[in-house]
């Protein structure tokens, strides 16, 4: 049943703060038992390093919007946060990243082997908690999303540049590596809350479109962000030869000289970041990327337009808009 209580404060932080605390508490109570010092050091590092907790927040807002308050939502959110943290531990090894959220990555502090193994540990813990929830639908949704994440990452690593497929490949990759988990969170929260299949489908699509917009902005910030604000190394995608939306736009709109420059970057790795920024700016690629993200935001807004107005729906909308306006 839909919760249409409009009387309380509509600020997102007020809505999710006690659930987030409960999730953190659940995590720390349940990793102590592992008795593995390395794991708890890395998990504490991740939990305290100021990640945005977007995925659990989506679960908590949707559960509230659908009037669901049973304890298992905390376990599902903790599982999703651990699946996400496992992907970050592995991703930072693959990308040889040095900083995330303004702090040293686990691979820099503890090394690659520790990051990979603790990533594996988080993944197995997440699935143990999901099994404890006893809901095969939720388990199925989150295992499918985890499978999709890995496929997206493999496709990103193995796909060679092809001018005719570059956009299609990019959207397929970000759909799998990012939007799939956003979508799964929204669908899992809906299913848990007893939503109708139509409501669950709309929220699942909302999450997918939210995730697409989020990753396009993430990829745009790689070209525009200020290192201090972003907390990551700016230009990292470019130096790795990662083909992202701003570069695709600059490539497609560029002169033949510009296209040759980008083809070289896409086929190996980029080295002249100033030149790339110059071409990105010349082709208005940042603005066009933000417009593309906005296109997904509008689709997401459309996905939830039929839900009754409530402070939770407002929070969901504000959360989506803030994710596009973000600088980090």
- Residues in contact with Mg ion by the rule CB under 5 A: 91, 95
Instruction: Enumerate the β-bridge partners of residue 99.
Output: 104
Query: Looking at 16-24, 88-96, 261-269, 311-319, which segment touches ligand FPP (CB under 6 A)?
Result: 88-96
Subset of 268-287 contacting ligand FPP (CB under 6 A): none
Nearer to Mg ion, 99 or 301 (CB): 99
Nearer to Mg ion, 173 or 300 (CB): 173
153 is an interface residue for ligand FPP by CB under 6 A: yes
What does each C-alpha distance from 121 to 48, 58, 177, 181, 290 come to in angstroms?
A: 18, 24, 20, 19, 36
Structure tokens at 198: 């139509």
Q: In this structure, what is the dihedral angle of CA atoms 43, 46, 47, 52, given to the nearest 10 degrees?
A: -150
Question: How near is the Cβ of 320 to Mg ion at its closest, in Å?
Answer: 23
Which H or E run contains 100? strand 99-100
224 is an interface residue for ligand FPP by CB under 6 A: no
202 is an interface residue for ligand FPP by CB under 6 A: no
Question: How near is the Cβ of 320 to ligand FPP at its closest, in Å?
Answer: 18
With contact defined as beta carbons under 8 Å apart, do 63 and 73 qualify? yes
- Residue 308 gets the label, from left (phi > 0), alpha (psi -120 to 50) or beta, of beta
Which H or E run contains 104? strand 103-104
146 is an interface residue for ligand FPP by CB under 6 A: yes
Nearer to ligand FPP, 6 or 322 (CB): 322
87 is an interface residue for ligand FPP by CB under 6 A: yes
* Residue 77 partner contact from Mg ion, ligand FPP, none using kind-dependent CB cut-offs of 5 to 8 Å: none
| Exposure string over 308-321, b if 16+ CB within 10 A, otherwise e | eebbbbbbbeebbe
Alpha helices in 179-240 (DSSP H): 180-192, 197-224, 227-230, 236-240
CA atoms within 13 A on the CB side of 170: 23
Mention every residue, 6+ apart, whose C-beta is less than 8 A from residue 33. Answer: none
* Residue 62 partner contact from ligand FPP, Mg ion, none using kind-dependent CB cut-offs of 5 to 8 Å: none
Question: How near is the Cβ of 129 to ligand FPP at its closest, in Å?
Answer: 15
Contact pattern from residue 236 through residue 255 relative to ligand FPP, giving x for each residue in contact according to CB under 6 A and a dash for the rest = --------------------
Nearer to ligand FPP, 15 or 173 (CB): 173
Nearer to Mg ion, 266 or 312 (CB): 266
Interface residue with ligand FPP, options 123, 141, 213, 225 (CB under 6 A): 123
Structure tokens at 189: 């929260």
Give contact residues for ligand FPP (rule: CB under 6 A). 83, 86-87, 90-91, 94-95, 97, 119, 123, 146, 149-150, 153, 177-178, 218, 232
């Amino acid at each position: 049943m839909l919760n249409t209580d409009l009387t309380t404060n509509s600020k997102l932080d007020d809505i999710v703060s006690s659930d987030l605390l409960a999730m953190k508490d659940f995590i720390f109570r349940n990793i102590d038992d592992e008795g593995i010092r390395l794991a708890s050091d890395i998990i504490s590092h991740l939990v305290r390093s100021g990640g945005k907790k977007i995925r659990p927040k989506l679960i908590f807002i949707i559960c509230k919007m659908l009037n669901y308050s049973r304890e298992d939502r905390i376990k599902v959110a903790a599982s999703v946060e651990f699946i996400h943290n496992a992907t970050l531990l592995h991703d930072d090894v693959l990308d040889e990243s040095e900083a995330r959220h303004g702090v040293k990555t686990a691979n820099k502090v503890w090394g690659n082997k520790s990051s990979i193994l603790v990533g594996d540990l988080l993944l197995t813990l997440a699935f143990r908690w999901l099994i404890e929830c006893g809901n095969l639908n939720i388990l199925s949704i989150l295992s499918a999303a985890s499978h999709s994440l890995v496929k997206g990452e493999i496709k990103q690593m193995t796909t060679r540049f092809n001018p005719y497929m570059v956009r299609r490949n990019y959207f397929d990759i970000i759909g799998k590596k990012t939007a799939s988990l956003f979508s799964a969170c929204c669908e899992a929260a809906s299913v848990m809350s007893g939503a109708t299949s139509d409501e669950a489908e709309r929220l699942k699509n909302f999450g997918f479109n939210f995730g697409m917009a989020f990753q396009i902005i993430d990829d745009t910030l790689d070209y525009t962000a200020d290192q201090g604000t972003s907390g990551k190394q700016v230009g990292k995608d470019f130096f790795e030869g990662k083909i992202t939306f701003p570069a695709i736009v600059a490539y497609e709109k560029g002169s033949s000289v510009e296209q040759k420059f980008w083809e070289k970057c896409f086929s190996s790795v980029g080295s002249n970041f100033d030149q790339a920024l110059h071409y990105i700016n010349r082709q208005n690629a940042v603005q066009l990327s933000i417009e593309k993200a906005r296109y997904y935001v509008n689709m997401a807004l459309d996905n939830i337009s039929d839900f009754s107005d409530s402070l939770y729906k407002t929070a969901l909308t504000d959360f989506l808009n803030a994710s596009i306006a973000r600088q980090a």
